[in-house]
Structure 1
Amino acid sequence: MSKVSGNDLIDDVTPGDIIAVDRGSGERPYKVVFKDPSDAGYLITFETDDGETFQLDLAAGTRVKRSLEAKWESAQSPTPNSEN
């Protein structure tokens, strides 16, 4: 992940963001597909590199590592992004 921020709140994460998640074998980057409110905070649906999805319940206010350029590095970006 490039330009990773470790001080982002899960509250600020949106679908399309890439965040680090530890599923028992260390932190790995996963794409956020859906984010729905839940009793504990948020039910987040993630997508793996293989296209599989999984869900985690994360408490509101949880700190996460997020790739700040994830959406803009994508080929699906609506506008060209060049660095000057």
Structure 2
Amino acid sequence: MIDQKMKELIPNVSPYIRAPALNIENPPSWKKVQHALKETNGITVSVSEIEIMNAKAIIDKSGIGCEPASAATVAGLKKLADEKKIDKG
């Protein structure tokens, strides 16, 4: 997970998650992400595969199909709202 205070990224040597688009060992643009977080006072959160798949099921029920990596965004928003770090609205 990338946050605003990181000095360096420690790569995950063998990432594996069912969302293949998220299996990135050493993301090349992490500094850009960190800069965007600082500029927007943004936050990040880690989500589990179960949280991703639960979010995917919610999206699928609405009639919109998505792959797991896209559902990670919804999982993250849900987690941040549940933790009251962002407003549900």
TM-score by length of 2: 0.23
> Which structure has the bigger radius of gyration?
2
Report which of the two has the higher share of helix: 2
Report which of the two has the higher share of strand: 1
TM-score by length of 1: 0.23
